[in-house]
Amino acid sequence: MGRFQSLLAFVTIGLGVCGALAPARAAPAEIVAFGDSLSAGYGVGPGESFPEQLQAALGKAGVEAVVANAGVSGDTTTGGLARLDWSVPQSADLVIVELGANDALRGISPDVTKRNLDEILKRLSARPGTRVLLAGMIAPPNMGEDYAKRFNPIYAELAQKYAVAYYPFFLDGVASVAALNQADYMHPNKDGVAIVVERMLPLVQATLAKPKG
């Protein structure tokens, strides 16, 4: 074997050894935003939805993640439960559950809402390696005080029951602020979504950092 061939063989072997010793790069975290129009991005443009802005914010924070949009406009907790198994892959590292606003808007019994969310959290919590973040909702004032007393506590109770991460109100800091909402005064505009993402980001990061179950 000539000097050039010997040198080439040495370099090739060396590169192979270095490649074998180099740590494998971790795959991006797989996050699923499982919700209604607030997750789907109703009324906002490309790159402005909650999943898209959350993915961008995580990237800026140095967290590699892909945030899938599993939001369906108009969906209730009943609809979410019905599509859970095919909307949220078993491989998800984190599922952000954002459902219930349409239940309250339609006056659906809080008992039904609670039962559906309970089953959703039960199924997700049983998945090995899947973390869950439950985003709460508050009943609109026009539904009355009695309805709110039954509806509003659902999220905290279920988050405690299943020991999942809990964000008390998805629209915290955005609801009732005209400049952060669209003309319907129910859906956040791009700036409103940005506020949601900014406020929820620390909890998302902390939840991702927890060991997988």
Instruction: For the chain, report the end-to-end CA distance as a whole number of angstroms.
Output: 55
Rounded to 10°, the helix 110-125/77-87 angle is: 20
Q: Which residues contact 150 (CB under 8 A, 6 or more apart)?
A: 110, 111
Q: Which residues contact 47 (CB under 8 A, 6 or more apart)?
A: 53, 56
- Give CA–CA dist 150/110, Å, rounded: 6
Q: Which of 39, 49, 93, 187 does the annotation list as catalytic?
A: 187
146 labelled catalytic = no
- Give CA–CA dist 177/4, Å, rounded: 72
Q: Which of 36, 37, 39, 103 does the annotation list as catalytic?
A: 37
Q: How far is CA 83 from CA 26, 29, 114, 181, 188, in A?
A: 30, 22, 17, 28, 25
187 labelled catalytic = yes
Q: Which residues contact 41 (CB under 8 A, 6 or more apart)?
A: 48, 49, 50, 51, 52, 69, 71, 193
93 labelled catalytic = no
**Which positions are annotated as active-site residues?**
37, 184, 187
